[in-house]
């Protein structure tokens, strides 16, 4: 489930011309936050 929700981050990055400095993610149960943060940290470790 978390990995599937992380694909939203892939779609977000693919639609932008450059990587954003910040990404604001709404939190309910935490799955969306967990999935997106894993991908975003992978592509931008700093």
List the chain pLDDT tens, one digit each, 46 residues: 778 888 999 999 999 999 899 999 888 888 999 999 999 999 988 8
Provide the pLDDT for residue 10. Answer: 93
- CA angle at 43 for the pair 38 and 45, rounded to the nearest 5°: 80
Domain boundaries, the chain: 2-43
CB atoms within 10 A of CB 27: 10
Provide the pLDDT for residue 46. Answer: 81
Provide the pLDDT for residue 38. Answer: 93
Provide the pLDDT for residue 45. Answer: 84
Provide the pLDDT for residue 5. Answer: 86
């Amino acid at each position: 489930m978390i990995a599937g929700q992380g694909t939203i981050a892939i779609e977000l990055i693919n639609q932008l011309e450059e990587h954003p400095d910040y990404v604001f993610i709404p939190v309910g149960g935490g799955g969306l936050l967990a999935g997106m943060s894993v991908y975003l940290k992978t592509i931008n470790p700093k």
